[in-house]
A = this chain, B = another copy of it.
Amino acid sequence: MKHIAELCGVSVATVSKIVNRKDDDVKEETRLRVLKTVEEEGYFINTLARSMKTKNTKTLGLIVPDIKNAYYTDTSRGAEDMAVRKGYTLFLCNTDDSINKEISYLVKLMEKQVDGIIIIASMERDVEMEELLKINVPFAVLNSSTNYKDYAVKVQVDNYKGMYEGVEHLLGLGHKKIMYLQGETRLSFGEERFRGYKDALEKHGIAYDDNLVATTTFNVEGAYGYLRENGLVPETTAIMCGNDLMALGVLNWAKEECIDVPGDLSIIGYDDTIFSVISSPKITTVNQHCHLVGEILVKELLEKIDSEDFTQRMIPVASHLVVRESTGKPMIH
């Protein structure tokens, strides 16, 4: 800036005003002259120096277990979209669900003076909360049941409703025996979905049956392996799965057993990923609006940063069922 000022024969104050578009009081002629020199010299504003004065960096930290997991990828992308739109840039932080990596990143972000932090953590941990207490920067957490201090924004996906709608869809088609093949998790959403499953059944006068609920891993092999080993409870005509990969596993098993989908068996997945649409038949699934969730996380976080309102907020985001080809009326035998 000093260099530019000298070249143009003006002071740095003048250059500063111009590059920051606070140039109401500078002559059009000098404005143009300075801008031209800026262009010619390939000058870039040094935001480091600026931030020292302004006390903000227009930078956020994005903490995510693993960007390779489709769910997090979409959410991250939504976060990034909103961030650019608002003039912010994101630091990408993968933690692999390791508390050490997470803390190490948290420290790094503080050192880098980020204006806020988005935490899309999959684990529930109190250790982290303790650590967070020293972090006096606004942050936004997704799907956390932890009770953070006041500068937190909590965004919650409505897992209860997503599950409820799925089961209701099956009940509406006439299914009576609906299995729930859930994924293993210590997170609160597992319990919420379970409630959704149970409530939907009871609301429609169907007794809850423990034998119809099974737990396995969140992938193709998990679901496939479970059915291969245990088969179906007699008269089961539909399965709700923990995610689309599990639904795919069920589909593969059904094919092998010559069970027609959806003729003999209806299947519902969860997440509405590409998997639900490349399979044949295409899978009915619950869309959680990951991209939107990412956008909301950033939007709410920035609002918290801008306002002086430091009360904890909770923002719910609805899920909705996407009906495709893997569900239909149960055959009458």
Size range of the chain A interface in the assembly? 35 or more
- Decide yes or no whether A48 CB sits under 8 A from chain B: yes
Among B49, B59, B108, B252, contact of A52 (Cβ-Cβ < 8 Å):
B49
Q: A80-B92, A89-B91 are in contact. Are A48 and B275 (CB under 8 A)?
A: no
Tell me the bound Cα distance from A134 to B113 in angstroms: 28
Among B47, B68, B81, contact of A113 (Cβ-Cβ < 8 Å):
B47
- Assembly stoichiometry (copies): 2
Stretch of A70-78, A169-177, A225-233 contacting B (4+ beta carbons < 8 Å): A70-78
- Decide yes or no whether A124 CB sits under 8 A from chain B: no
Instruction: Tell me if A46 and B248 are in contact (CB < 8 A).
Output: no
Q: A68-B73, A68-B74, A92-B90 are in contact. Are A255 and B280 (CB under 8 A)?
A: yes
- Decide yes or no whether A57 CB sits under 8 A from chain B: yes
- Decide yes or no whether A220 CB sits under 8 A from chain B: yes
- Decide yes or no whether A9 CB sits under 8 A from chain B: no
Tell me the bound Cα distance from A112 to B48 in angstroms: 7
- Decide yes or no whether A4 CB sits under 8 A from chain B: no
- Decide yes or no whether A67 CB sits under 8 A from chain B: yes
Tell me the bound Cα distance from A57 to B91 in angstroms: 13
7 tightest A-B contacts by CB?
Answer: A42-B134, A92-B92, A44-B110, A47-B111, A44-B111, A90-B92, A48-B48
28 inter-chain pairs at a CB distance below 8 angstroms, sorted by A residue, are: A42-B136, A44-B110, A45-B111, A46-B111, A46-B113, A47-B113, A48-B48, A48-B52, A52-B52, A59-B112, A67-B67, A67-B80, A68-B74, A68-B77, A76-B92, A80-B94, A81-B94, A84-B101, A89-B91, A89-B93, A89-B108, A89-B112, A91-B91, A91-B92, A92-B92, A248-B278, A255-B280, A275-B278
